[in-house]
A and B are shown apart, each in its own frame.
Chain A
Amino acid sequence: MSDETLKTTPLHQAHIDAGARMVPFAGYSMPVQYRDGVLKEHLWTREHAGLFDVSHMGQARLRGVSPLSAFEEITPGDFIGLKPGKQRYSVLLNKRGGVIDDLMAARPDDDGLFVVVNGACKDNDFKVIDNELAGQVTIERLEDRALLAVQGPEAAAVIARHLPAAARMVFMDSRAMPGFGTNILISRSGYTGEDGYEISVPASEALRIWELLLEDPRLRPIGLGARDSLRLEAGLPLYGHDVDETVSPIEADLAFAVSVKRRAARDFPGAARIAQELEEGPSRKRVALRILEGAPAREGAEIADEAGAVVGVVTSGGFSPSLSAPIAMGFVPPALAVAGTKLKVIVRGKPQAAEVVAMPFVPHRYVRKL
């Protein structure tokens, strides 16, 4: 895709002014890194707080007579049980129990369901929702809103100066509130494993709020490069790489997104496959790998057992700045998915020692209670 056809976020010029290297991502020109580079940006976020422009993601309101029960027709989550002020992680499922996309759905107020989906998937997601739930929900895409993420151990202190009420939220709380001189939707969640917030703001206010936030020296702008290495360390899958339409939530180690109530009812797309995988175990499972020697194993690298037989493939991999070592995620048979299992990854034809470890690589620091 040529640069001329790329979309931009309301913060495009601010990224360029901050020295960002812009790359095409999900149809947008996005900052992959700023002047500090991926390594320093990553470590800054783990030690202090990072500000991310994630306005490429798809935001929408689903409204209808009963949008929560309608949403259960295309996801395995307990949305009827989603209380006002709460957010839930879920997956859109196809009829084969494969994942069309992963998403956040929330009730920041009484205005239906607020959903945030992946930028690269958003057009298809909203088409699927529109087709599957025709007559039950109407979709309003919030293309006039930007999305900012503030992540890291100092995120709460940074945000509390502007939004005292946000300090009273816990992980996966969602609120509509006045803030930054406008109306915002805010959740205490993110994609780094750190405490933090994601804040939906009117596009016309985004630049002012971005600059206001960056007056705090604890906060620095962080690009998509570090966002990827942060989520990898946090064990969070990246759609299109670790999860796709062939992968079930059970295979992807996302069983927590299949609610206990819904498992019994088996009333979601692909329920037969997912119920079978829950009972008998899936044929492959997403695991975390420490690469014990040699080069980082990246997406597409084969995984072999100790005898050298290929047993799986790396779906995300790179260098972990926090651990100063290469790490990866990939799929292997369940018998080899146990922490401590010794495996090999094949990088440029050479087998390198690797070991299955517990997910996440770096502990989550979500604030679950105050």
Chain B
Amino acid sequence: MRFTKDHEWVELEGDVATIGITAYAADQLGDVVFVEVPDAGKTVKAGDGLAVVESVKAASDVYAPISGEVVEGNPALGDAPETVNDQPEKGGWFAKLKIADKAEFEALMDRDAYEAYLGTL
């Protein structure tokens, strides 16, 4: 699993990347009440908006950490957005992307680097 400074995580299986937000990010957002996930077929570049996650108070954009084509948005979040809080790094994933460039994944932080980064916040 790799991480971004925006507190997203990426897990790669073959050429499909699963993307979500970290436990730290989920805690900062508070209780998630709605998630807008992307439709299959949408292509995104690293840094594009990928999903929107909403708490009682505010809407926050989730940006694509790497480029690719959306294979699937997490269908379970429609009825159970709280999964983002309960299992942020597992069932609370937002989207799966078919990626073109594995180097983008390799360039992200590993868990040790991410945890060191959290220590600086």
Query: Could you list which residues of chain A lie within 8 angstroms of chain B, going by C-beta atoms?
Result: 32-33, 37-40, 42, 225-226, 228-229, 294-296, 298, 318-319, 321, 326, 348
Indicate which residue in A39, A228, A348 contacts B33 across the interface (CB closer than 8 Å).
A39
Interchain residue pairs with CB less than 8 A apart (17): A33-B30, A39-B30, A39-B31, A39-B56, A42-B56, A229-B56, A229-B57, A294-B34, A295-B34, A295-B54, A295-B59, A296-B33, A296-B54, A298-B58, A318-B56, A318-B57, A319-B34
| Residues of B close to A318: CB separation below 8 A | 56-57
| Known contacts A296-B34, A319-B56, then 14 further A-B pairs from the complex at CB < 8 Å, ordered by chain A residue | A37-B31, A38-B31, A38-B55, A39-B31, A42-B56, A225-B30, A225-B56, A228-B57, A295-B34, A296-B33, A298-B59, A319-B55, A321-B56, A348-B52
Smallest CB separation, B44 vs chain A (Å)? 15
B30 touches A37 (CB 8 A): yes
B54 touches A225 (CB 8 A): no
Smallest CB separation, B119 vs chain A (Å)? 19
| Residues of B close to A42: CB separation below 8 A | 56
Cα distance, A318 to B56, chains bound together (Å): 6
Cα distance, A294 to B81, chains bound together (Å): 12
Smallest CB separation, B121 vs chain A (Å)? 14
B57 touches A225 (CB 8 A): yes
User: Beyond A37-B31, A38-B30, A39-B30, is A319–B54 a contact (Cβ under 8 Å)?
Assistant: yes
Whether B36 sits at the interface, judged by CB under 8 Å, is: yes
What sequence of 0s and 1s flags, for each residue 47-65 of chain B, a beta carbon within 8 Å of any chain A beta carbon?
Answer: 0000010111111000000
Interface residues on B, range: 10 to 19
| Residues of B close to A226: CB separation below 8 A | 56
Cβ-closest chain A residue relative to B31:
A39
Main secondary structure of the interface of B (DSSP, over half): strand
Cα distance, A47 to B20, chains bound together (Å): 34
Smallest CB separation, B76 vs chain A (Å)? 17
Cα distance, A326 to B34, chains bound together (Å): 9
What sequence of 0s and 1s flags, for each residue 40-84 of chain B, a beta carbon within 8 Å of any chain A beta carbon?
Answer: 000000000000101111110000000000000000000000000
User: Which among A32, A225, A319, A348 has the highest number of chain B CB atoms within 10 Å?
Assistant: A319
User: Beyond A39-B31, A39-B33, is A295–B52 a contact (Cβ under 8 Å)?
Assistant: yes
Cα distance, A370 to B78, chains bound together (Å): 45
Smallest CB separation, A318 vs chain B (Å)? 6
Smallest CB separation, A356 vs chain B (Å)? 21
Indicate which residue in B34, B52, B57 contacts A38 across the interface (CB closer than 8 Å).
B57
Cβ-closest chain A residue relative to B30:
A37
| Residues of A close to B58: CB separation below 8 A | 298
Cβ-closest chain B residue relative to A228:
B57
| Residues of A close to B52: CB separation below 8 A | 295, 348
Cα distance, A42 to B33, chains bound together (Å): 14
Cα distance, A32 to B29, chains bound together (Å): 12
Smallest CB separation, A45 vs chain B (Å)? 13
| Residues of A close to B30: CB separation below 8 A | 33, 37-39, 225
| Residues of A close to B59: CB separation below 8 A | 295-296, 298
Smallest CB separation, B33 vs chain A (Å)? 4
Cα distance, A348 to B58, chains bound together (Å): 14
Cα distance, A298 to B55, chains bound together (Å): 12
User: Which among A32, A37, A348 has the highest number of chain B CB atoms within 10 Å?
Assistant: A37
CB-CB nearest 9 A-B residue pairs: A39-B31, A319-B33, A38-B56, A37-B30, A319-B56, A225-B57, A295-B34, A229-B56, A37-B31
| Residues of A close to B56: CB separation below 8 A | 38-39, 42, 225-226, 229, 318-319, 321
| CB contact list, B6-47 vs A, under 8 A | 30-31, 33-34, 36
Smallest CB separation, A46 vs chain B (Å)? 13
Cα distance, A38 to B58, chains bound together (Å): 11
| Residues of B close to A294: CB separation below 8 A | 34, 36
